Structure 1
C-alpha cells in the first residue's frame, strides 16, 4: 500500500476535499502553532453540516476529543475523531474570523479570513456553502474559567501533531489555515499546515 500524498494547506488560505464514507482525513499541524478551522458538510445536501451545538448534548463537553463522534444539525454522526497526537486542546466556541472581526480589531484594509477561505475552498471544488457554521478550531486554545470568561491562549500543540477524522457519511471537509495574526491564537505567526486523505 502506497503512502497517501501529503497535501499543503497554504498559510492564510483554505482547501476542501471530498471524503467517501469510511475514508479519513489526517490534518497535520506542521509547525505546531497553526490553528486550522475545519468544517464538514453532507456531500449530498450541504444544508446538513457538522454542528457543535448539536454534538454537545451527546458528548457532554465543549471540547471534542479522540473516540467521539462529531454530529450534524440533523443529529447524526458525520465524522469520527479517530486519532489525536496533540494534548487535545481544540475549540468549538469561536466563530470563524471574517472581515467584520478584523475591522473590530482595528484593521482598516482587507484582512485574509477563515470565512472567505471557506467560500474560496468550496468554490474550488464547484460548491457553495449554504451557510458558515461554527468551525471545529483544531489546536485553538480558548480556556474557559469557572466564571465563564474566556481567554485567547496560544496553542499547546507541538510540530507534527495531527488529528485523524473519519467520514461516517459521504462528506465535504473544508479547512482554513487561520490568518489571525493580531490575537495570540497562532502564536502571532500564520503558517501552512498539511493534510492527507486516508483509506
Structure 2
C-alpha cells in the first residue's frame, strides 16, 4: 500500500484534477500501414517453418522480410515474452517503450512494433489477432501488453530475499539468445530487452496504479500474427507463470508449449518497401567537425 499523503491538498485541488489530458504523441502524421494490402496476402500463405517453444524455456527463429509470423497457443492457456532483433544488426531491437507511446499500452490489429534509437522504424506490423474481441475489461485489463518488462531473476531475488530461480523469462531469453548467437551468457544478457507480452492480460489498478495480471483469455488455436518489415530474429519465452493467473517465476503454475509458425507470401503487399532507418542526423544540436 502507498503511504497516506503528507502534503495538504491546495484549495484548487479539484480544479487541477479536472484539467483535460493531452495525448503526448499525436499520431496524425505517423505513416500508417495499408492493412488491407497486407491482409490481401493471407489467404495464400505457405508454411515454411514451425518452432516449438518449450514451457518454462525459450526458443529462437528467423523471419525474412516479407514473411508472416504466427505465435500460436497450442495445448493450453500460456503467456509468451517476445523479443525481436534485426537479424543483420543485433543492436537494433524492439523498443517497447516507444511502441507503447505511439500505439498504447496494449497492441493489436494494425499496430506496428518499433525499434530502438537511433534506428526508430517499424520492424513488424500486426496483421491478425484472434483475441481482438477482448478489448478492455471492467478492471482496465487487456491483452498483448507493452507495459510489463519481463519476469527476471533479479526482481525475484529481491522479493524472495535471496532466491535463485533460473527460469524467469529474462533468463530463458538470455539462454536461447546465447545458444543462437554463440555469445557468452553475460554478453548475451545485455541484448535482452523489454518484451511484448503475447496473450498476457494486464493493466494498472485504478486506486494504487499497480501493474496487475489476470488469467489470460487465450484458447488453444488462438494466435497473434505479424508481418516482418525487415529480416527479424525472434526470441520468445513461454513464461513460467503459465496463463499468469496467480504468479510468475514459479515451478507450480501449469505451463504449456507455444508454437511459432513462419509463412511465406506468394507476393509482397501492394506498394510495400522495407522501412528506412530513421533519418534524424544524430548531431543532437552539436556541429560535427
Give the TM-score band, short-chain normalised: 0.7 to 0.9
* Cα distance in 2 between the residues matched to 1:114 and 1:42: 20
Say which is worse superposed, 9-18 or 27-36, in terms of deviation: 27-36
Say which is worse superposed, 47-56 or 138-147, in terms of deviation: 138-147
* Cα distance in 2 between the residues matched to 1:85 and 1:116: 29
The residue aligned with 1:92 is 146
Quick check: 2:71–2:261 contact (8 Å CA) kept in 1? Answer: yes
Q: CA RMSD in A?
A: 2.4
For the pair 1:153 / 2:214, whether they are aligned, the reply is: yes
The residue aligned with 1:37 is 81
The residue aligned with 2:63 is 19
- Using structure 2 for the length normalisation, give the TM-score: 0.62
2:114 to 68, 71, 81: 71
* Cα distance in 2 between the residues matched to 1:72 and 1:58: 12
In structure 1, runs of 5+ residues without a counterpart are none
CA offset at residue 80 of structure 1?
0.7
- Using structure 1 for the length normalisation, give the TM-score: 0.87
* Cα distance in 2 between the residues matched to 1:5 and 1:169: 18
* Cα distance in 1 between the residues matched to 2:182 and 2:145: 26
2:257 to 165, 177, 192: 192
Q: Which runs of 4+ in 1 moved over 6 A?
A: none
In structure 2, runs of 5+ residues without a counterpart are 1-44, 136-142, 265-289
- Please list, as runs of the form range in 1=range in 2, the aligned pairs for 1:176-187 lying within 5 A after superposition: 176-180=237-241, 184=246
* Cα distance in 2 between the residues matched to 1:2 and 1:142: 33
Over 3 Å counting, the alpha-carbon distance change for 1:75 and 1:109 in structure 2 is closer
